Amino acid sequence: MTVAAPAAVGDERCGFYLTGVPETKYRARFSSDLDELVELIRDERPDVVVANQIEEAPALRVALMEAGSDALLAGYCHYLPFSFSAGGQLLMDPSLNDAGLGRSVLLAFAAGLAACDRVMVHSGTAASWLSAAAARMTVDLDAKLRVVPAPRDERLVRDPANAKPEYSAGAIGVYNHRLYAHYGTEQFVDLARHLAASGTVRLRVMDLFGPRRAERKSLADSPERMREQLAALPHVQIVSDRGDRVRYRNLLAGARFGIAPFRPGCPWSMSVIDCQGMGLPVIAPRLGWLAEHIDPELRFTTPAEAAELAERLATHDEFHSVHAKRAYASTADFTPTRVAARYLEALS
């Protein structure tokens, strides 16, 4: 396998081809270098090409044709540029709608789907949404759509049945998601205010970005604004793993439960899986994949319900123990070995 990316994957068994870093998320979708792609395909002579940026698939199809390659072209939809309202209305993803580009991104996404021989998504919810959206744009996915979840990180696995609890005195709820507004962070801030006022729960909020470049801030400054609002609240700790997976594990291990994002178009959340693999129950709004995956007893609709669940996990040991075991068990199908088998089957 050869990985073509701005950074190597860190596994010496993989080949590596260095690509440039796109200046913005839009350049990653609209600035394919066909000459470079053709050269890469001629050098590597692949049997399968996987486009992790789905909008790159049409350019890859052209490059395969020009290079005289009959390789299978697969796309992995690690995000969806849309969501659906409760009434079935197709909504643009606000994070990809700067300068009104949302519909162009959606059409480029659909073009990528049409160019692929296989299309992989994380979850059943994502598959349902993708099929519905593609049908509206006359792209038929029936024969090529596969559900292949992302693998859990085996360094972030702790069986609550065998492991001694590592959390410190006082119940800590961890929020380990990006602080963009489109993740529903304002709703989390409201919940944080409620929990901070109760004094029952302390919150540990992960700062996954740290200082960002001015160019990124100009496109979306919500992470900085949300971080400032959260840092001003009592009983709220803003922390960073500083890119260290051991530190990240320790920050999760010291918590009692996790809180899912309030993101309407949530087809998957690796941060939720991180918590669950560590045996942390996760409370979640009844939205998207979260409604598919999270235990029904831990889902909420209103902020009052969310606060009640958080306080119950913080103070009721038996309730917490039951859901810690269920959280850990919910990641059993996401081991690297099982996911790799599903991935290879999808490409066969």
Region of poorest pLDDT, from 24-38, 90-104, 166-180: 166-180
pLDDT, mean of residues 180-196: 91
Q: Among all chains, which residue has been given the structure tokens 């068990």? A: 329
Average pLDDT of every residue of the chain: 92
Q: CB atoms < 10 A from the CB of 183, how many?
A: 23
Strands 48-51 and 72-76: parallel
pLDDT at 193: 92
For residue 299, pLDDT beyond 60: yes
pLDDT, mean of residues 135-142: 93
pLDDT at 334: 98
**Of 198, 216, 220, 210, nearest to 314 (Cα)?**
198
**Of 82, 227, 244, 71, nearest to 156 (Cα)?**
244
pLDDT at 200: 85
Q: What's the rounded Cα separation, in Å, for the pair 82 and 84?
A: 7
pLDDT at 209: 64
Q: Phi first, then psi: what are they for 91, rounded to 5°?
A: -115, 140
Region of poorest pLDDT, from 20-34, 172-186, 214-228: 214-228
For residue 229, pLDDT beyond 80: yes
**180 close to 79: Cβ distance less than 8 angstroms:** no
pLDDT at 216: 61
pLDDT at 162: 82
For the residues of 254-289, what is the DSSP string, one character each? T-SEEE----TT-S--HHHHHHHHTT--EEEES-HH
3-state secondary structure of 239: strand
pLDDT, mean of residues 228-251: 93
pLDDT, mean of residues 332-342: 97
pLDDT at 10: 84
Q: What's the rounded Cα separation, in Å, for the pair 67 and 54?
A: 20
Region of poorest pLDDT, from 165-179, 227-241, 280-294: 165-179
pLDDT, mean of residues 225-239: 93
Q: What's the rounded Cα separation, in Å, for the pair 181 and 192?
A: 15
Percent residues over pLDDT 70 in the chain = 94
pLDDT, mean of residues 70-86: 93
pLDDT, mean of residues 66-77: 98
3-state secondary structure of 102: helix
pLDDT at 199: 81
Q: What's the rounded Cα separation, in Å, for the pair 239 and 132?
A: 39
Q: What's the rounded Cα separation, in Å, for the pair 118 and 60?
A: 13
Question: What is the distance of C-alpha 327 from the center of its chain?
Answer: 18
pLDDT at 9: 87
pLDDT, mean of residues 299-314: 94
Task: Give the HSE-up count for residue 258: Cα atoms under 13 Å, Cβ half-sphere.
Answer: 31
Using one digit for the tens of pLDDT, what is the confidence trace for 160-182?
A: 988 665 555 469 999 999 998 88
Q: CB atoms < 10 A from the CB of 145, how many?
A: 20
pLDDT, mean of residues 101-128: 96
